[in-house]
Structure 1
């Protein structure tokens, strides 16, 4: 099959980005053939079952240019003979003047390698994330005189400067032919920065429910029984786990709780230290990164899913975390916060509980849900119903597939 599309990702495979793997597997099923071009090599020691289903070839660009100097210089010589190299170089120099960062230099070097090594039948580039991957895709596309598009998600929307987003959305032959984003919250920001707002599509990731077991037949938890809390998410500021630990320390002694956390991240040591200083170590289980079967098993065993998302100091924030939909797929009651696009799926008191992220507020919400298990289960049932009716994966895949057909036609 002719591979007319190149997909650019930051790293492959990544357990924290299974929504990308879900999408790419579905695009292959829809008839799209592509190679994956990854800016980084994998760091996770485990993979997701979806990664094993993907047939696409993975090509790794030089993660650091000095590690593959012969490849980089050979590619640069080829790239300099391409029709759009000079224009791409001028755009990159203008970007570098406003963003004097070594990473910006690496992006241009990776773009040269990609432009030089793309198969001749390639007609379009599609990047996941609007920041680094889209920069590499944009420079390479300009060099090769190709069209390109992107999917934007969360951090890339809220921490990229307005000037860079605006230029990537420019309604000319250097900007993206289309941009997809997975929340109405993010789409509103991007449309406000675009010359042509119609280029931005709202495409929810949704959930491929065929990948998940049927939900358990949950009876409401018995009041006074042990309360098993579960969270899944990277140990980073925007997930709010520091405030959750502070909240757990405030729970009344009558609640016999345990908390299991799944996921890795740079704040692991400091959060474990915070828990120890609060005297909570024996109640907390740090699982680290886990594969999907383990995550689902823990969801089926838990009583309450907690994701206390917040806006980080640098502006980073969640979009609509897929783990909320995964918890809903198992009829697991949900406690989260009204941050970013979370209310697009969870209407508080209807599909779950959305609390302010202060420790006292979180503790009060956990206590309320512990004391009202029938109400918690009714909301979980409503979340599952909404997931099935409004957040299925296939409508979004169909719309994205049409965009990619246009991109490569």
Structure 2
């Protein structure tokens, strides 16, 4: 902290200034100032040339103040809740201070453009989430005792699990044979277990709780369908593009989902998956039955889905894109880095691609 006294004073003024403009942000600003001072005190001088914050909520508040103390640039990655709700304090201020801003869906980018003034749209970059595709190779399907439907997600309102359970009850009433595994945990779990029992699904629906990624991956081997039925929550929160959908597609599992947020950017109806309207129990049940019984359709959408995941959600490729943005911003001497990349470049050196 003592290595940057003027920066700390400037950041303190920033805290006071924005507290006057938005008193509700006072506690967050004070906590962020304390966190930023901690980083300054514990990271060797000169080691932080740029600050990147994941999520435009508290992490970006810390990043805003830390960048002010150090006199360096700031960038932010926005995801979902920090875009779709009012939880992110001082968001317009943060957006105006960023060197660049990333989002993981076109839907999220469009929402930011509509809700906030972004002076230079070139700073707004869509960089999608990615997977290490090597983890998903050679995942052969293993038959389960009955057709298995799998859903993975935190048990909160925006995931729409009560709607999924009602769709499952409709399938059961029509005599469709299946079991449903709801993997995950959260504040709605007890309510969902009671609802499943009340719908007469206690022998068909299982709640294994949160599982390590390796066990989720193992479950996909047995899955005949993956389903996620998100909705827009009462506070405006909604999914961007859940990673679980990408993972299921990478495993070769047919996907049924609802048309919310950025989901249709990956789940294209009857091309890479099946879509239903959010909250429409009957339509969700119909699409689930199609995904279970229509073998030519299953083969088509799983093959197309894999190609789409490879094209848009390869972690190495997308990390390279993000790294290139940093390389250009920081004027790195070489990108991508290699064993002979040498020492960090001095300020002002240009990026020289390999």
TM range, smaller chain: 0.7 to 0.9
Residues 336-355 of structure 1: pairs in structure 2 closer than 5 A: 336-355=257-276
SS in 2 for 1:177: strand
Q: Please provide the CA RMSD for this pair.
A: 2.6
Question: Where does structure 1 lack aligned partners over 5 or more consecutive residues?
Answer: 1-74
Residue 150 of structure 1 deviates from its aligned partner by 1.2
**8 A Cα contact 2:227 2:256, kept in partner:** yes
Residues 252-291 of structure 1: pairs in structure 2 closer than 5 A: 252-291=173-212
Residues 140-193 of structure 1: per-residue CA shift (max 9 Å, x gap): 2112222111111111111137983221111xxxx1111111111111223442
Describe the shift of the 1:335–1:81 C-alpha distance in structure 2 as closer, same or farther (beyond 3 A).
closer
CA distance in 2, matches of 1:269, 1:77: 51
Residues 9-408 of structure 1: pairs in structure 2 closer than 5 A: 82=8, 84-94=10-20, 96-97=22-23, 99=24, 102-121=27-46, 122-160=48-86, 164-170=90-96, 175-192=97-114, 193=116, 194-216=118-140, 226-251=146-171, 252-357=173-278, 358-408=280-330
SS in 2 for 1:84: helix
**8 A Cα contact 1:84 1:144, kept in partner:** no
Deviates more, 1:115-124 or 1:324-333: 115-124
**8 A Cα contact 1:244 1:359, kept in partner:** yes
Describe the shift of the 1:91–1:403 C-alpha distance in structure 2 as closer, same or farther (beyond 3 A).
farther
**8 A Cα contact 1:226 1:255, kept in partner:** no
Q: Quick one: higher RCO (CA 8 Å, sep 6+), 1 or 2? A: 1
**Which residue is 1:47 aligned to?**
none
Question: TM-score, normalising length from structure 1?
Answer: 0.73
Residue 391 of structure 1 deviates from its aligned partner by 2.9
CA distance in 1, matches of 2:182, 2:93: 40
Residue 129 of structure 1 deviates from its aligned partner by 0.6
Residues 232-270 of structure 1: per-residue CA shift (max 9 Å, x gap): 111111111111011111113421211111112111111
Residues 117-146 of structure 1: per-residue CA shift (max 9 Å, x gap): 333121111111111111111112112222
**8 A Cα contact 1:231 1:305, kept in partner:** yes
